[in-house]
Structure formats: structure tokens, C-alpha cells
Amino acid sequence: MTIFKRTQNAFLLVLLAITCLTAAPAQVAPSLSDPIPVEREITIGRLSNGLRYYVRANKKPEKRAELRLVVKAGSVLEDDDQQGLAHFVEHMAFDGTAHFPKNEIIKFIESLGMRFGADLNAYTSFDETVYVLQVPTDKPEVIDKTLLVLEDWAHNVSFDTDQIDKERGVVMEEWRLRRGAGARTTDKLFPILLKGSRYADRIPIGKPEIIQNFKPDTLKKFYKDWYRPDLMAVIAVGDFDRGVVENLIKSHFGSIPAPTAPRPRPEYEVPEHEGTAYAIVTDKEITATSVSISNIVPARKQGTFGVYRQDIVDGLFSSMLSARMGPVSGRGGRSQSFHQPGKGRSPTERAGEGGRHRRGTGRALHRGGAGRSIWLHSHRTGSAAAKPAARLRTPGHRRPEPPVRQPGR
């Protein structure tokens, strides 16, 4: 075959490909304002009592599932005489329910070969309380019984008086363990970071004088007011049949009565302020010097392609800036870290999370050295007020759970 013939054939192939492409219907690129569609593999529903559920089949890892009960209630909803009781309710959920008295929930999990802490967990934050169970799915009845545990947490916690008194000591020991440099830093930073906000005096761990002396009815009142189906969601992800699990959720949670006169669920914000606030914190137990700057910026409403794109841009900017500055700032200790809005860990949540790591907002420079922390907090005039976005969460006496991608987030 001559060179001309080969060239001619190649040209014809390219022309044919172009013709096929132009003949095919063009896909319209989504607008940046368009919402990101929900995956087809996710089943989303809402029961008549208001409870929402999200179910996704996922075969990796095989024969495993994670189930969560998410309650839109945390420490910010506590009355003055309830400070620390959102977290205390979380503890009591493991100390007895209607179908699992005392520590039967832990025994059930251990009978499946799972571990308390690693596979059975919970945490309490400003705005939410989340319960987590990881279970095997090789036996159909396991998912059913696990959902019974979540159902009991939703409306059947026992609140036995003797168990309440025993748990006071557990929570107080947890409080004492956290009275280190982090807590002392928080005590100085919160009045500045959250000035004028309810969040400033609603730290999830609570106040010792309330934990030691509250009446059981005060604890039950918080549970009755805020543990209700219209403030709850059940999330199930794992190696199972979606339809079967959806029907089980309906069976377990559909009969929970909706409140006839529900207490309004308020939303709290951190108010705007003028100028720049700052704090200089020193403590003999702080082993590094850090400088952090935080800006309050308008919150982005998640869920559109445009916001997702901007999140990627912010992440790339942060990563590139950190990579360039790291070799310079790392000479004296830890490398420099720049965090985009909503992604960095501020002293606010570092101080109270007790081993769990959630991300906050800030720009931070860390160097090894004497114990001093400088935190600058500024505000852009005219920007929207912002909540701390539940960045600080208190885990109770549970170990950190592995992350799971939640539908709709």
C-alpha cells in the first residue's frame, strides 16, 4: 500500500469519526446553578411522622453495613438548667432501652463479633447527635435487630434512676480528662470567637455543677422535646437489598408518634461584629507556637455544581499554597498549613473534641517552640452572619468511628 493510500484511508477514518460525533445528540453541560442530582442508587424517603431515611446498597466491603440515627438536636438546644444533658442523653442510650435493658446493646454487638467503640459509637455536637452501628449482613435478622436498637434510641431510652447516677461519674471523669491546655485555651477563645452567640455558653460537655445535680425529669424533658421523628433521619449503607431495608425502616420507625404540639426548633447564629478581635493565649502545657487567623464569610448553600466547583478551587488553592510554603515554614518545626473556609481545624473545635477531628475555619501557622497561641479573629463588614456549623463535637466515651459518605451531603 502506498503512502498516499495509507494517508487517504486515515483521513477517511477521521472524517467518519467526526461525522458520527456530530450526528450523535449533544449532551448539554449542566449550569453552575443546577442542583447536583441524587445518585440513582440512593433511596430517599420521608415517613408520615416526619422522619427521613436514606438507603444505599454498597457491596464493598462485602457483608457489612453501617446504620446511623441522626438527631437534629445538640447542646445549643439545652435550657439553662440542661447544660451538658444533650451529651448525657447520648450516654444513657447505651445504658438501657425498652428492648435492650442495661448493657444488652453492647452484648448484642459483641455477639456479632463487633467491638464497642470501633463498631458501636456516637457523638454529640452543638447541633446534632449521631449514633453509629456497623454490623455484618450475612444473616438477614441482624439488620432487623440493629434497626430495633436505633428505634429504641429514637423514643425508648429507659433513663433508669440508678443508671443515671452511675453515669454522672463517667461523664465527670470525661470532663476532668479534658481540663488540659485545650480546654483552657477554649475558655479564653470562645468569648471572642462566638461573642454574642448562644454557642459560646453551650459547650457539649456541659457544666460540672449541672451534671452532678440535675433532676432525672430535667434530662427526660430534653429527650422528650428534641428526640422526635421530625428531627431525625436514618441512614443505611451496606451490602444488602435496598428494598428490604427500606421496608424494615418503615416498619420500625413508622409507628413512632409525631408530637402533637412540638416545641419550635430555633436556629442560632453568630452575630456580626465590626473590626478585628484577637486573643493571645499562653499555657505551660502548649508545646508549639501557633498563629491562626479566621474570617467570617457568608455560608455557601451546598448542593449545586457551582458550589461544588468552588469547593474544588478552594481546595486546590489551599493545597498548592501549603505545598509552596511548607519547605519554608517547616524549618523550625511542623509544616505550614493553610485551610480554606470550612475546612481547617480551628482552636475552637480542637479544644473540645476529645480525640475526634472535625474541620473548622482558619489559616494557621504552626512552629515548634514555647507554649503560646495567638488567635486573630476578623470579620468582613457586610458579610452574612455565620454559625459555627457544629464544628465542635463532644464524643462521649466512645472511640472515633470511621468516616462514611452520607447521602445528600
407 and 234 in contact (C-beta within 8 Å)? Answer: no
Of 78, 90, 128, 353, which is the active-site residue? 90
β-strand pairing of 52-57 with 42-46: antiparallel
Residue 167 is a catalytic residue:
yes
Q: Which residue has the cell 456479632?
A: 112
CA gap 102, 160 in Å, rounded: 9
Contacting residues for 386 by C-beta, under 8 A, at least 6 apart: 269, 270, 296, 297, 298, 299
- Where would I find the H helices in 74-131? 85-92, 104-111
Q: Which of 78, 128, 151, 167 is catalytic?
A: 167
Residue 238 CA to residue 240 CA, distance in Å, equals: 6
The three-state secondary structure class of 234 is strand
Residues 6+ apart with CB under 8 A from 137: 63, 64, 65, 143, 238, 239, 240
User: In Å, how far from its chain's centre is CA 193?
Assistant: 20
Is position 173 annotated as part of the catalytic site?
Answer: no
Q: Which amino acids are annotated catalytic?
A: 90, 167
